[in-house]
A and B are shown apart, each in its own frame.
Chain A
Amino acid sequence: MDNSEYVKRAKKAVKDGLSVDDLIKRLLELVESAEKAENELFKASSDMYAFYFPEWERLVTEKEDFIESFSSSISRKDLSKLKGISTESMGYDLSSEDLDVIYLYLNELRNISMVKKQIWNRIEEIIRSNYPNMYSIAGYEISARLIALSNGIKRLAMLPSSKVQVMGAEMSLFSGKKGDRTPKYGVIFKHERLSGLSLEKRPKAAKKIAAAISLAAKADYISKKDISEEIKDRLEKEIKGIRP
């Protein structure tokens, strides 16, 4: 028996079936693992640096600042200048060999953080060029997550907006028993229009935003026309009309 016809046909089906949505899903996975690695490396390296120069480490709490500071040198002499503090330190005096090793490690941290930014840029570009409505209503991060969660724009466009509202909150949606309170927000919680609102208005606004995103997905999948201005205006009006 010969299955080569089937193998050939299946290979073609795979090739034709893979789409830009699958790419978005994969890129999201990449960027999530990069973020995880970045956090891990940051935690370890800031602890390490605090061992050597605690006075400096306590001034730099932001991850981005910390990573930026180590571009050329990591010695007390060079870094103390940046913050204008004394080179006097109660930390352990590391030899230059030790500092070299730590410098290599910090370089890895810097690289992974750069990679992370690059992947996000790429995701943004893909969303902007493929799904202009989604891009302008939901932003690239939320759009990408929604597309990944729903396995493609086609399914996302078919989903009701109430589902779009809680997508990404499956844990709280399914955990607990029947009749428990269901979540109000999924990945749309990060939407820029939500964070500025008072707590009373937020749940209602989430509904409106989900409806707008759902509409944008439908426009991107079905008519492929850019009607984002229209949707945006309507969304603004609706959010203004919300009474607490």
Chain B
Amino acid sequence: MKLENIGENIFWMRDGRKTLLTKNLVLGRSVYGERLIDINSLEYREWIPSKSKLGAAIYNGLRDIKIKQESKVLYLGASSGTTVSHVSDIVGVDGSVYAVEVSEEMAIKLIFLSEERKNIFPIVSDASKPEDYTKYVPSCDFLYQDIAQRNQVDIFIRNADLFLKKGGSAAIAIKTKSIDVYGESSEIIKESVKILKGRFKKVQSINLYPYQKNHSLLLCD
């Protein structure tokens, strides 16, 4: 079994096939039913691509994930905290993840998770109204958004303007079906990339098939 480091606290485990791992911040705890793996007396958590879009993007060739140790990350659409837990692993104890979720019932799991992981800062608020949480979020090194809404690109840009540090990177998971049910996925992605190019210098798109259908991750610098 070989362990290959591909980013801070992110690893490929190779034992015949590739498995993505992050170093577990809270020992002995599995968040969403993923496997815990001990290698050389260090504990890692499996990052399941079918449950996490960021994980799927890494499986599909995302090289440089830009989230570092001690990064401040703004995470919009945190849901119950599946991907958030891995981002929390990556940034480590000195980093922070500001996790915004609008649905109260989803937020319940997220809040329990943040009681376990002190680097997650839960915010129950609507990401399309960033004015509501400006007081609680400092300027961040990385912005991640996973919201299935028609105006998701617009929400992303507004949040980036408010919270993203100069030179910071961002990633948005786009569900094409929620922008236009009838439209062609590739066309919608092209359209979104065009809009994002007006705000960011570089936009890279990664299709998340087969782990997630009709989803793409756009990485913006």
Query: Contact residue range for chain A?
Result: 10 to 19
Docked pose: A219 CA to B61 CA in angstroms: 53
Q: Quick one: which of B107, B118, B181, B182 contacts A10, CB cutoff 8 A?
A: B107
CA distance A75 to B30 in the complex (A): 52
Contact of A18 with B104 in the complex, beta carbons under 8 Å: yes
Q: How far is the CA of A1 from the CA of B92 in the complex (A)?
A: 11
User: Which residue from chain A places its CB closest to the CB of B183 in the assembled complex?
Assistant: A178
Q: Which of A42-63 contact B (CB under 8 A)?
A: none
Quick one: closest A residue to B120, CB to CB?
A3
In angstroms, Cα B110 to Cα A177, docked, is 38
Interface core residue of B94, B124, B125, B182 (most chain A CB under 10 Å): B124
Chain B residues with Cβ under 8 A from A177's Cβ?
Answer: 182
- Distance in angstroms from B106 CB to nearest chain A CB is 10
A-B contact count (CB 8 A): 51
Tell me whether B122 is interfacial, beta carbon within 8 Å. Answer: yes
Do B104 and A1 touch across chains, with their CB atoms under 8 A apart? Answer: no
Asked if A155 is an interface residue, CB under 8 A from chain B, the answer is no
B87-125 interface (Cβ within 8 A of A): 93-94, 96, 104-105, 107-108, 110-111, 114-115, 118-125
Partner of A6, one of B94, B104, B123, B182: B123
**Across the interface, do B108 and A3 meet the contact criterion of CB distance under 8 Å?**
no
Cross-chain contact of B104 among A3, A17, A178 (Cβ < 8 A):
A17
Question: B122 to A6, Cβ gap below 8 A?
Answer: yes
CA gap between A18 and B106 in the complex, in Å? 11
Flag if A1 contacts B107 (CB, 8 Å).
no
Interface residue total, chain B, C-beta cutoff 8 A: 22
Q: Report the separation of the CA atoms of residues A2 and B96 in the bound assembly, to the nearest whole angstrom.
A: 10
Cβ of A92 under 8 Å from chain B: no
Using Cβ atoms and an 8 Å threshold, which residues of chain B touch A3? 96, 114, 118-122
Instruction: Tell me whether A14 and B104 are in contact in the complex, defined as CB-CB below 8 angstroms, given that A6-B114, A7-B111 are known contacts.
Output: yes
Verify A13–B124 contact, CB threshold 8 A: yes
Nearest chain B CB to A237's CB is how many angstroms away? Answer: 38
Q: Please pick, from A2, A14, A17, A22, the residue contacting B111 in the complex, using a CB distance under 8 A.
A: A14
Cα distance, A7 to B99, chains bound together (Å)? 11
The 8 Å CB contact of A17, one of B121, B123, B124, is B124
- The smallest beta-carbon distance between A150 and chain B, in angstroms, is 14
Judging by beta carbons under 8 Å apart, are B115 and A10 in contact?
no
Q: What residues of A have a CB within 8 angstroms of the CB of B181 in the complex? A: 174
Closest B residue to A26 by beta carbon equals B105
Give the chain B neighbours of A178 by CB distance below 8 A: 182
The verdict on A14 contacting B124 (CB below 8 Å), with A1-B94, A22-B104, A22-B105 known, is yes
In contact, A10 and B119 (Cβ under 8 angstroms): no
Could you tell me the distance between the alpha carbons of A4 and B121 in the complex, rounded to whole angstroms?
Answer: 8
Nearest CB of chain A from residue B218's CB, rounded to whole Å: 24
Q: Mark A3-28, 1 if CB is under 8 A from B, else 0.
A: 10011011101100110001000000
* CB < 8 Å neighbour of B122 from A10, A18, A174: A10
Decide: B114 and A1 in contact? CB cutoff 8 A: no
Contact with B along A133-163 (1 / 0, CB 8 A): 0000000000000000000000000000000
Measured between C-beta atoms, what is the minimum distance from A181 to chain B in Å? 15
- Which of the listed residues A2, A10, A13 has the most CB atoms from chain B within 10 Å of its own CB? A10
Contact (A14, B182) CB under 8 Å given A3-B114, A3-B118: no
Q: A3-B96, A10-B122, A174-B181 are in contact. List 9 more A-B contacts (CB 8 A).
A: A3-B121, A6-B114, A6-B123, A10-B111, A10-B124, A13-B107, A13-B125, A14-B104, A14-B111
9 A–B contacts, CB within 8 A, in A order: A1-B119, A3-B119, A6-B136, A9-B123, A10-B107, A10-B124, A13-B104, A13-B124, A14-B111
**Among all A-B residue pairs, the 9 with the closest Cβ atoms:** A13-B124, A17-B104, A10-B122, A6-B121, A14-B104, A178-B182, A3-B121, A10-B124, A10-B111
